[in-house]
Amino acid sequence: MASDVLSMTQPTMLSSPQPLQSPAGSLRRPLKLSPIKMLPNIDCMKMLEPGRKKLTSIETQRVLAVLDETIRKLELVSLFQNAFENLERYSVVFGAELTGELREHKRLQDNLQRHLQRVHNEDDESSLQWEKTNMAKRADLHFGAYCQGVQSSVRNILRLFLTNPTACQALRSEGNARDQASQALIRFLSELRAFLFERLLTSPLEQNERMRYLQEITLRDHKNRGVLTALEEELNSAIVDRDNEITKKNEIIRQLKINLHQLEKFSENQVKRTMQEAENQQKSDCRASEGKTAKLQQDLQQLRSQLNGTIAENREIELNLRKKKYKVETEIENWIQKYDSDMGEKQAELEELETMYEEEKAQLSELKEKLAVLEVEYVQIMEERKQAQLRKEEEERELAKMNHAATLIQAHWKGYQVRQSMKSKKKKKKKGKGAGGKGKSKKGKK
């Protein structure tokens, strides 16, 4: 990514006083933005996901159930045309009743289409306004009857399909025969169902928190883009200034080259004239020509030293700019690596949490199965204990009744024995009294 941000080669030493080349073309390429670095204390995926996984309210479950039922029925209704075309092939699976209803529905649908075509043709042929009005009224009556018949037929067919899962599965397997409009409608309802499910899982407080979080992210992105735009403008202005400076230096170098070239030509002409004069006045003007030549060589050396100084200064400026570029590129690369490492850690943590969740979910399902078996056994044991307790109570009641009855019988028996003994004692007393009276009477007689 750093190579896309800044594409500049490493600095190279100039071997000759060539004009400085500007890398402005590569620097003016648009900078690529790395994704915004989120706050470390906020789990972005958890913030954007719903707080629950299942619907807890009966009303929301009913809403989704109605929508699911509508989608399933629409999938069946959209394949009615395919069922009409292949009715002979499906007759065994559908059965006689469902096949008859489909044929009846096909007949009602054909009647409705013929009626609509006839009304359309009569509207084109008729010219009087009152005739059009009467025909429209009659057509509306017939159209309402036909529509009601088709609707009733569709409801009956759907009811039969729901009672025949085999026929329903056979018709659903021909999903490729569905037309594009029906497919688009089913896809739209499925997307609506997913969106509605997510909205029903999200509470108003979570929705407000998510909207606030998204607004904060958007605001931060706008701020970062503003800062980046300002940095790009600053970079472009620095590039323009450096290009202007390099252009000026190149113009100075060009002027120096022209002056040097002219100076060399002038020195050559001067040397030629000096040589010609030296031929005439070799001895007298030898020292003068040598002095002039030395002076010219000194001037040339001075100009060359000035040129070398200018080149070295320009190279130093270029080296500083390249160092700044390399520093900025290194910082950008470090930020990218830091972002990649942070996101990798977050992704690893998320995968670990997902693995733990799946394991705990599997353990929960196993515990639920074991609990269901134990619950059945517990119910059986409690039922047996309850029956045993009832039998024990019944036996205790029977024993209490028997004890009470035995007590009553014993009491009556004891009372009976007491009465019998009393009666026998009374009889004995009466007999004793009777025998004593007779004896006294006999003695008196004697």
Closest to 89 (Cα-Cα) out of 210, 194, 173, 2:
173
Tokens of 377: 């056994």
DSSP string covering 192-209, please?
HHHHHHHHHHS-HHHHHH
Q: Is the pLDDT higher at 198 or at 439?
A: 198
Q: Tell me which range, 204-218, 239-253, 425-439, is most confidently predicted by mean pLDDT.
A: 239-253
Query: If you ran DSSP here, which 8-state letter would residue 176 be given?
Result: G
Residue-wise DSSP of 371-400: HHHHHHHHHHHHHHHHHHHHHHHHHHHHHH
The gap from C-alpha 167 to its chain's centroid, in whole angstroms, comes to: 35
Please give the pLDDT value at position 249.
92
pLDDT of 169 reads 77
Query: What is the rounded CA–CA span in Å between residue 336 and residue 6?
Result: 14
- Report how far residue 373's alpha carbon sits from residue 61's, in angstroms, rounded to the nearest whole number: 28
Parse the chain into domains and list their residue ranges.
53-203
Please answer whether residues 210 and 44 qualify as being in contact, where contact means their C-beta atoms are separated by less than 8 angstroms.
no
Amino acid at site 18: Q
pLDDT of residue 400 exceeding 50, the answer is: yes
Q: How far apart are CA 140 and CA 146, in angstroms?
A: 10
Structural tokens at position 79: 């394949």
Q: What token pair was written down for 373?
A: 């078996």
The answer to whether 336 and 1 are in contact (CB under 8 A) is yes
pLDDT band for 236, please (50, 70, 90 cuts). Answer: very high
Say if residues 66 and 164 touch (Cβ distance below 8 Å). Answer: no
Asked if 6 contacts 26 with a C-beta cutoff of 8 angstroms, the reply is yes
What is the C-alpha to C-alpha distance for residues 263 and 255, in angstroms, rounded to an integer? 12
Per the listing, tokens 């004891």 go with 414
pLDDT, position 444 = 46
Place of tokens 């999200």: 202
pLDDT-based confidence at residue 358 (cuts at 50, 70, 90): very high
Whether the Cβ atoms of residue 80 and residue 105 lie closer than 8 Å to each other: yes
Task: Select from 179, 149, 166, 175 the least CA-distant residue to 98.
Answer: 166
Q: Does residue 13 have a pLDDT over 50?
A: no
Query: What is the pLDDT at residue 183?
Result: 81
pLDDT at 240: 93
372 against 52, higher pLDDT = 372
**Range 396-419 burial, b when 16+ CB lie within 10 A, else e:** eeeeeeeeeeeeeeeeeeeeeeee
pLDDT of residue 241: 92
